[in-house]
Amino acid sequence: MEIQMGNILEAACAMAGYELVTGTVPLRWRIMAGTAVNEGLRRIHAEKFPALRRVEFRRYRPIEADLEAAAERYATGQECWCDGKYWRRTATGWEELKMEQVSAFVAFDQPWEATEIDPGGVVVDDFAFEADPKYHPDAAPVKGCGWFADGVLLPAPAPEGVYVRFTPKAPRVSFVEWAPDRAYARGAGCYVSADRDCYIALANIAPGGEAPGANAAWRRVRVRDEFETYLTELAAASLQSEDQGRYQTKAAAENEFAELQARFAEGTGDSRMRAGRFRR
């Protein structure tokens, strides 16, 4: 189960003795709590907890709905996927490609996808599948995949798309309230108190642009409930004074992280980073 980032912010403020009224958390506290949570998220993702792994279907090129509408955004030689085929832009239009003409390259950061792949969260020999391994556990991975630049290259001829298994890159959250008159670069974050969620911009958004929500411009950021206590205690420790028990709360967070490591190593999964067996 996933929990809202607002749960963490509100609980951390309460642990620091703040009488929370929705939307009135001081900016300084929002920044401090966000910095602490991002530190925790980076540590969680570096550990490669099995609960973070996911499977998603990926194409090798940007996905377009209409070639004519997309033409002005593509230079000669650039390629895309549209209407069930790959296409290459030419000086006069578009050329349909056969799969043997397509370099089957899955970039770690595909701007048209909401989730960025962590390069350290990929086992290249267990990365790409023609069938979804969630529903076909006996599915064999595509053989011959290899590291190339900032992604993974599949051998030719490759399928038109593949299911990939990976750990996503740690999100960078922000508890600073969304402002409609502010510009947001791709990857920038914000918080919406009304729905208690954090969001990350999936494209450059100009002032007055689309508001955060269930749309193509923003991705909502939530975390699995296994990590709620750890992240809350980290955020609370960043807000508390010494008299309020800052160091005790920080120690409690460290103990919680150690318990997470032990739980995945001994019971519900395998913390390969701790066991020294995580590999590329």
Report the chain's terminal Cα–Cα distance, integer Å: 29
- Residue 203's SS3 state is coil
User: What is 81-122 written as a DSSP string?
Assistant: EETTEEEEE-SSSEEEE-GGGS--EEES--TTSS-PBPGGG-
What is the pLDDT averaged over residues 213-241? 95
Provide the β-strand partners of residue 224: 2
As given in the structure block, the two tokens for residue 154 are: 């599949």
Q: Does the structure show a pLDDT above 70 at 268?
A: no
Residue by residue, what is the 3-state secondary structure of 118-185? CHHHCCHHHCEECCCCCCCCCCCCCCCCEEECCEEECCCCCCCCEEEEECECCCCCCCCECCCCCCEC
Long-range contacts formed by 258-267: CB under 8 A, 24+ apart: 260/47, 260/49, 260/226, 260/227, 260/230, 261/47, 264/49, 264/50, 264/51
- Average of per-residue pLDDT values in the chain: 91
Model pLDDT for residues 40-55, shown as the tens digit of each residue: 999 999 998 988 999 9
What is the pLDDT averaged over residues 252-262? 96
pLDDT-wise least confident of 26-40, 101-115, 168-182, 258-272: 258-272
| Rounded Cα–Cα distance for residues 4 and 119 (Å) | 26
Residues 6+ apart with CB under 8 A from 185: 201, 204
Contact (CB, 8 A) for 78 and 88? yes
Contact (CB, 8 A) for 115 and 56? yes
Contact (CB, 8 A) for 71 and 200? no
Q: Name the DSSP class of 198.
A: E
Q: What is the pTM of this model?
A: 0.83
